Structure 1
Amino acid sequence: MEIRQLRYFVAIVDHGSLSRAALVLHVAQPALTQQLRHLEEELGVQLLHRSAQGVLSTDAGKVFYDHAQAILKQVADAKQAVTHSARPAGSVTLGLPHSVSGALALPLLTAAQQHYPDITLQLTEELTGNLAEQLKSGRVNLAVLFDDGQLTPFATTPLAEEELAYICRADGEDFKLGASVTLAQALGTKLILPGLQHGVRPRIEAVARAAGLHTGDVIEINSIAILKSAILAGMGATILPVAPLLAEIERGSMRVHSIHHPPISRTAVLCASRTIPLTNAANAISQLALQVAQELCRSGAWPGARLLG
């Protein structure tokens, strides 16, 4: 198996046809087809379905595509580490959960352009469960995850502690609640939360169990945009940090109630692989992300977040 075969395969999948991939790669289509056939023969599986309309990945092809992307990224990172050993330069991919990107993404991009113009910072917004897998495989260099006791495979640096609040539609029944609610009161309402393996949900479940409580009937939605729409449609309330819903709260369409007895929070952590070395550029972005998070907490620009320690 050769690196060029991986590059050819990824290009074919990305462009949806052999002919378009051949044009982009500046490779004759028969040669591209031959390399794909050699790759499939070596692996002993069919990677692509071919038709007059183009190509689609088989189940095996989808799995191989993820690995091929990770390998190609690590090869590119290795080249950058050698070529730019004296100064931070190259491409860095940082994964952010949906609930954090609103607070951190733009300030970090701005700071990266200002301090490291030779670094191309690529931000990807994903569910936390997906980000952990991408970090393990090397598809992203860094990721912001939440300390749920399952981060031992990663090198970790705490960024901030985020308070979770009970957030509902401003004119709903929950409007009658006081400025703060107990966790039991919050859990006793109709809640809209992410799935069990994503975002705030593991933290909510853990705190509830420790307090002898449990979540009731939950609508599971893994998209912040859809979750907002569901709250505004009166389908229920949520337990989240303030930041991802700040625009709706400031407009007055949503209302925030702090949670007590017990309060509930989560720790945002910057994570890197323990087995895949960081490039100089990735190390620089890691330090910059920590500095930006600290400044956002100090200035109050990251609502509900505070510095640790």
Structure 2
Amino acid sequence: MSTPTLKQIRFFVAAVDWGSLSRAAAHLNVAQPALSQQIAQLEATLRNELLTRTARGVRPTEAGQRFYRHARTILRQVDGAVADLTGPGPVIGRVAIGLPTSVATILAHPLLSTILRDYPGIRPELFESLSGYLHELIAQRRLELAILYRDRSAPGLTVQPILREELFLVTRAGAATPAAITMREVAELPLVMPSPTHTLRTMVEAAFAREGLSLTVVADVDSLPTMRRIAASGLAAAILPISGLSGLDEAQRPAMIRIVEPTITRPLGLCYAADQPLAGPAALVADLMVAEMRRLVESGAWGNAVLAEP
């Protein structure tokens, strides 16, 4: 039985990452027929169909998903071996990073600025999505790193706690806006919240349930900008961290009221696959992410967030 070549593996990974044979071919600077031929030879070697072709592009089959996880690890190990033997030099490589939307609003710009300015050999690939979906992408080896709302490692996932941020009631600004509001008072207000599967929603509902309370949710909205606009209009309130309002000018900012009796906080941690220790560009970017998050907290730019104990 023949063995897959590194070229075939790289071409297959690119096809999955880009979701399109034409976009993958353009990225690799090869003709699309040549890329298709290499992937066809790979499928023949493995005796499995790896990609499903559709009018909108390609997606991995169940066998393709399994092989993709191995392929990512193989390519990372090869790149690491080359870097080890060629000695010190500029750090070069792609790093796929996942950030929840509220975190991206405050972290993405300074993080990318540092990488692009100081490490031109690193090509960051930023994915912004729901925390639960980012966890799935780590398990599928589509991401090397992600910030998730976790402070403990789990099977298959290594977590480095970084900070905890407080959640606030977000509502229309007014002269009589109080500085604080109790959880019991919040329970009586109409709220827009992310859908029930969203990590923020489940975390807030659990906090209210511990106090024997339930939320009055009038709409499920999985869009941070939309939640902010609804809250600012006074149509309904929202529950968000300060980072969720990052980037808004004063004219657009809704009021943020501290929730007390008790307060609600959520953890943020740097996460990666447990069987895939960080090395090379991914390890460097991980250090940059932690350092930037610490800087934002220590400078006060991350609102009421506090650093996790080392």
**TM-score normalised by the shorter chain: which range applies?**
0.7 to 0.9
Whichever residue aligns with residue 262 of structure 2, its letter is P
Q: Is the 2:69–2:141 contact (alpha carbons within 8 Å) kept by the matching residues of 1?
A: yes
Mapping of 1:250-269 within 5 angstroms?
250-251=250-251, 253-269=253-269
Q: 1:32 is matched with which residue? A: 37
2: distance between equivalents of 1:299 and 1:144?
Answer: 20
Q: 2:101 is matched with which residue? A: 98
1:163-186 CA deviation, whole Å, 9 max, x = no partner?
110001225xxx755211011211
Q: How far 1:132 moved relative to its partner?
A: 0.5
| Residues 209 and 305 of structure 1: CA distance in aligned 2, closer, same or farther (over 3 Å) | same
Q: 1:305 is matched with which residue? A: 305
Q: Is the 2:190–2:237 contact (alpha carbons within 8 Å) kept by the matching residues of 1?
A: yes
Whichever residue aligns with residue 77 of structure 2, its letter is A
| Residues 152 and 168 of structure 1: CA distance in aligned 2, closer, same or farther (over 3 Å) | farther
| Residues 34 and 44 of structure 1: CA distance in aligned 2, closer, same or farther (over 3 Å) | closer
2: distance between equivalents of 1:279 and 1:19?
Answer: 28
Whichever residue aligns with residue 32 of structure 1, its letter is Q
Q: How far 1:133 moved relative to its partner?
A: 0.7
| Residues 150 and 210 of structure 1: CA distance in aligned 2, closer, same or farther (over 3 Å) | farther
1: distance between equivalents of 2:162 and 2:296?
Answer: 10
Q: Secondary structure at the match of 1:275?
A: coil
Residue 77 in structure 1 maps to residue 76 in structure 2 = yes
Whichever residue aligns with residue 166 of structure 2, its letter is E
Picking from 105, 112, 122, the partner of 2:125 is: 122
Q: How far 1:252 moved relative to its partner?
A: 5.2
- Normalised by the length of structure 2, the TM-score is 0.81
Q: Secondary structure at the match of 1:293?
A: helix
1:239-281 CA deviation, whole Å, 9 max, x = no partner?
1101221344732541110110000111111111111232222
1: distance between equivalents of 2:133 and 2:275?
Answer: 19
CA RMSD of aligned residues (A): 3.5
- Where do 5+ consecutive residues of structure 1 fail to align? none
Q: 2:180 is matched with which residue? A: 180
2: distance between equivalents of 1:20 and 1:111?
Answer: 27
2: distance between equivalents of 1:117 and 1:99?
Answer: 26
2: distance between equivalents of 1:89 and 1:161?
Answer: 32
2: distance between equivalents of 1:308 and 1:164?
Answer: 16
Q: Is the 1:19–1:29 contact (alpha carbons within 8 Å) kept by the matching residues of 2?
A: no
Identity %: 26
Larger mean CA deviation between 199-208 and 155-164 belongs to 199-208
Q: Secondary structure at the match of 2:230?
A: helix
1:122-147 CA deviation, whole Å, 9 max, x = no partner?
22211100110111121111110012
Q: Secondary structure at the match of 1:259?
A: strand
Q: 2:271 is matched with which residue? A: 271
| Residues 208 and 37 of structure 1: CA distance in aligned 2, closer, same or farther (over 3 Å) | same
Q: 2:171 is matched with which residue? A: 168
1: distance between equivalents of 2:22 and 2:92?
Answer: 33
2: distance between equivalents of 1:155 and 1:15?
Answer: 28
Q: How far 1:67 moved relative to its partner?
A: 5.2
1: distance between equivalents of 2:46 and 2:284?
Answer: 42
Whichever residue aligns with residue 219 of structure 1, its letter is A
Larger mean CA deviation between 5-14 and 108-117 belongs to 5-14
1:54-90 CA deviation, whole Å, 9 max, x = no partner?
56547xx465665565444333322221122344432
Q: How far 1:104 moved relative to its partner?
A: 1.3
Q: How far 1:40 moved relative to its partner?
A: 11
Q: Is the 1:158–1:308 contact (alpha carbons within 8 Å) kept by the matching residues of 2?
A: yes
Q: How far 1:114 moved relative to its partner?
A: 4.5
1: distance between equivalents of 2:23 and 2:216?
Answer: 54
Q: 1:223 is matched with which residue? A: 223
1: distance between equivalents of 2:31 and 2:286?
Answer: 36
Q: Is the 1:89–1:119 contact (alpha carbons within 8 Å) kept by the matching residues of 2?
A: yes
| Residues 107 and 275 of structure 1: CA distance in aligned 2, closer, same or farther (over 3 Å) | same
| Residues 16 and 70 of structure 1: CA distance in aligned 2, closer, same or farther (over 3 Å) | same
2: distance between equivalents of 1:247 and 1:19?
Answer: 32
Q: Secondary structure at the match of 1:47?
A: strand
Larger mean CA deviation between 17-26 and 189-198 belongs to 17-26
Residue 48 in structure 1 maps to residue 53 in structure 2 = yes
Picking from 128, 131, 135, the partner of 1:132 is: 135
Q: Is the 2:165–2:241 contact (alpha carbons within 8 Å) kept by the matching residues of 1?
A: yes
Q: Is the 1:135–1:143 contact (alpha carbons within 8 Å) kept by the matching residues of 2?
A: yes
Q: How many residues align?
A: 300
- Where do 5+ consecutive residues of structure 2 fail to align? none
Q: 1:158 is matched with which residue? A: 161
